[in-house]
């Protein structure tokens, strides 16, 4: 699926035996963490510069320290992976790349039989949903951060402009023209943590979002949805809609007052840590059932 590109993958796997734990290597479960950065190109890289996505790196390390194996990848065209930067010719191919990577992970003896969860933020939330919709029995839980089930109406230009942008995306895939408002300023409260999405990526995300919106009733896995109340990129009301529409019997919705779109990396540290704690508590509870 990677079309002969070198794709960087990442993993954190605790080696400490927890007191009283019967799970191998002390692991409670495994988490697939799918996210991206079009600006810094960083994805949970503990070995890379501390200036890059410190809080995104932090969630992987904190979850690992809580007894979970965490695995992730830089998508082709993002981060340290090869490919035209920020360019996604077909979104479903990207989803298939993630499925291929995870298929290799779950075959490893050290994680076989453990509870499995997928976390998606940024572009990864759409990938996590599409992965679950393609393989509904693969995951023991799905965690979505500001899920892109529908783009807020105020973020989209008129349909005629969208058609022009779609044409431009074929010849100017790296252009920072989507959408017409400043996405990075609306996503991240702190300027130093802002990122920008490329035009082709934006158009592919829009198409994927429209498809996902029509299939929300098929979301059946245990579900944790987290959203900033002041998010102007993906409407928090859409998370409420997903919560109500999903057929999952076990579902939780957390709304964080005063927070923007990037609640895992764009907020002050105390807010970021609160979100981390909610995620870990949710995982711990489901692994204890």
What is the domain partition of the chain in residue ranges?
A: 9-287
- Range picked from 82-86, 175-179, 193-197 for highest mean pLDDT: 82-86
Residue 231 pLDDT > 70, yes or no? yes
Which bin fits 175, alpha (ψ -120 to 50), beta or left (φ > 0)?
Answer: beta
**Cα 249 from Cα 117, distance rounded (Å):** 16
pLDDT digits (tens, 9 = 90+) for 11-54: 766 544 333 444 444 556 556 554 433 332 223 323 222 122 23
| Average pLDDT of the chain to the nearest whole number | 75
Q: What is the pLDDT of residue 204?
A: 82
- Give CA torsion, residues 245, 247, 249, 255, to 10 deg: -30
Tokens coding 78: 């993002």
Q: What is the pLDDT of residue 266?
A: 82
List, in order, residues 6 or more apart from 117 with CB less than 8 Å away: 29, 30, 31, 32, 139, 140, 141, 142, 143, 283, 286
Inter-residue contact 193 to 266 (CB < 8 Å): yes
% of residues, the chain, pLDDT over 70: 68
Inter-residue contact 255 to 225 (CB < 8 Å): no
pTM of the model: 0.76
Q: What is the largest CA-CA distance in the chain?
A: 62
The residue ranges of DSSP E strands in 153-256, in sequence order, are: 223-228, 251-256
The CATH fold of domain 9-287? Rossmann fold (3.40.50)
């Amino acid at each position: 699926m990677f079309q002969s590109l070198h794709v960087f993958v990442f993993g954190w796997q605790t080696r400490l035996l927890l007191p009283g734990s019967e799970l191998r290597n002390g692991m409670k479960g495994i988490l697939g963490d799918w996210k991206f950065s079009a600006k810094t190109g960083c994805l949970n890289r503990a070995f890379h510069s501390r200036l890059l996505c410190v809080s995104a790196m932090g969630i992987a390390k904190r979850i690992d320290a809580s007894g979970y194996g965490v695995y992730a990848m830089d998508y082709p065209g993002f981060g340290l992976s090869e490919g035209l930067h920020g360019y996604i010719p077909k979104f479903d191919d990207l989803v298939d790349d993630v499925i291929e990577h995870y298929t290799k992970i779950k075959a490893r003896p050290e994680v076989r039989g453990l509870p499995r969860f997928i976390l998606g933020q940024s572009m990864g939330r759409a990938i996590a949903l599409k992965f679950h919709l393609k393989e509904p029995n693969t995951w023991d839980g799905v965690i979505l951060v500001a899920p892109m089930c529908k783009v807020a109406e105020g973020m989209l230009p008129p349909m005629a402009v969208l058609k022009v942008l779609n044409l431009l995306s074929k010849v100017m895939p790296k252009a920072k023209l989507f959408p017409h408002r400043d996405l990075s300023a609306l996503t991240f409260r702190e300027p130093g943590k802002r990122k920008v999405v490329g035009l082709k990526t934006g158009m592919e995300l829009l198409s994927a979002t429209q498809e996902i919106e029509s299939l929300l009733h098929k979301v059946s896995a245990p579900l944790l949805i987290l959203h900033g109340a002041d998010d102007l990129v993906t409407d928090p009301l859409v998370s409420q809609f997903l919560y109500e529409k999903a057929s999952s019997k076990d579902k939780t919705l957390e709304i964080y007052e005063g927070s923007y779109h990037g609640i895992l990396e764009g907020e002050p540290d105390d807010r970021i840590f609160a979100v981390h704690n909610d995620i870990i508590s949710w995982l711990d509870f489901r692994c204890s059932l």
